[in-house]
Amino acid sequence: MTSVRGTHRRKATMGADVATRAERRGELLHAMLRIRRFEERCVELYSAAKIRGFVHLYIGEEAVAVGVNEALTAEDAVVSTYREHGHALARGLPAEAIMAEMYGRATGCSGGRGGSMHLFDAGRHFYGGNAIVAGGLPLAAGLALADRMCGRSRVTCCFFGDGAFAEGEFHETANLAALWGLPLLFVCENNLYAMGTALQRHEAQTDLALRAASYGMAAWAVDGMDVEAVERAARRAAEGIRGGGGPYFLEMRTYRFRAHSMYDPDRYRDKAEVERWKARDPVTRLADRMREDAEPVEDLLGETERQVTEEIDAAVDGAERAPEEPVESLLQHVTSLRTEAT
């Protein structure tokens, strides 16, 4: 994971033990704010009809993507969902390539073929945005299978939501991964709603870690609103996987502050419930913790906001100026060798 600006993330060149706790927290804060502000800009651009299609916001869940990413190396693979801007940004996909994709431009990270739900970056082992709930899980098992066959010590991390627990593909993949001891990190982002259906209305047993454990893999629940708790859990799981311990499962208890998508009037949630969760905002929570520990945070926040705004402004500017894909390219990338006509 490398920095977009190259100043605030030094993990690649400096060991985590060297960086002070305050610096490390500053990096986490930056990574989360970057996602938050990027998505807030997406809302503005959607309202301005610059972005279309389905857009699913990650706001509120940033601690999960950022904390898990800390446990992954640049070689590790990630399979994501349609709520993926946070995962993509945390993995180091350039904000401009993501924004251009949402603009449907040629410079987008999927050449304008995917949009918000289908961000890809083969070079960064980011195997994208799957818009079929649980559809990325079998694919993630295959990535992990190939690594095991080739003797690579890579971890494949697969994000999915609580809604995936009602899909057969989750259970098929959990069984297969545990049976074959695959190096797969299951990260369930339990935000309590499968679109508009509350967890207790779609699962008979709502203890998801318990159910995952029944497949014979290590599984536990994590406070998904606490980026440091997420990082600790993810590091422990990733170390277990790299040590040959087979798949691990983490249930990240989190919440999305915004509606399911831009189309969602959000009629199914109690406003008081939303407010209760907003009180646990992962960004303010980390900032508060830094204040409690007498770590400098006010200047840092100001500087972080400035850097993030600058980066997002540049991303939007780049997307605005990027060329559209020519219509002549319509049939490209259907097959590798031939231009498919039949």
Partner 1 sequence: MASDAAGAAKTTYREAMREALREALRADDRVFLMGEDVGRYGGCFGVSLGLLEEFGPERILDTPLSESAFVGAGIGAALNGMRPIVEIMTVNFSLLALDQILNNAATLLHMSGGQLPVPLVIRMTTGAGRQLAAQHSHSLEGWYAHIPGIRVLAPATIEDARHMLAPALADPDPVLIFEHGSLYNASGELGPPAGPVDLDHAAVRRPGTDVSLITYGGSLPKALTAADELAADGIDAEVVDLRTLRPLDGRAVAASVARTHRAVVIDEAWRSGSLAAEVSARIAEDSFYELDAPVERVCSAEVPIPYARLLEQAALPQTADIIAAAHRAVD
Give the binding site for partner 1 (CB under 8 A): 77, 108-114, 118, 120-122, 127-128, 130, 132, 135, 137-147, 149-150, 156, 168-169, 172-173, 175-176, 179, 332-338, 340-342
Nearer to partner 1, 20 or 336 (CB): 336
Nearer to partner 1, 18 or 179 (CB): 179
- Least separation, in Å, of the C-beta of 112 and partner 1? 7
Sheet (strand 184-190) strand order: 126-130, 77-81, 156-161, 184-190, 248-253, 218-223
- Least separation, in Å, of the C-beta of 30 and partner 1? 28
Nearer to partner 1, 81 or 304 (CB): 81
Left, alpha or beta for 333 (phi > 0: left; psi -120 to 50: alpha)? left
Nearer to partner 1, 180 or 257 (CB): 180
- Least separation, in Å, of the C-beta of 309 and partner 1? 28
Q: How far is CA 44 from CA 39, 40, 55, 236, 262, in A?
A: 9, 7, 12, 38, 11
188 and 161 in contact (C-beta within 8 Å)? yes
- Least separation, in Å, of the C-beta of 327 and partner 1? 15
- Least separation, in Å, of the C-beta of 249 and partner 1? 16
Nearer to partner 1, 105 or 260 (CB): 105
Give the long-range contacts of residues 124-127, CB within 8 A, separation 24 or more: 124/74, 124/91, 124/92, 124/93, 125/75, 125/76, 125/77, 125/78, 126/77, 126/78, 126/80, 126/87, 126/88, 126/91, 126/93, 127/77, 127/78, 127/79, 127/80
Distance CA 219, CA 112 (A): 37
- Least separation, in Å, of the C-beta of 108 and partner 1? 7
Nearer to partner 1, 271 or 338 (CB): 338
- Least separation, in Å, of the C-beta of 98 and partner 1? 13
Nearer to partner 1, 3 or 175 (CB): 175
CB neighbour list of residue 138: distance below 8 Å, 6 or more residues apart: 169, 172, 173, 176
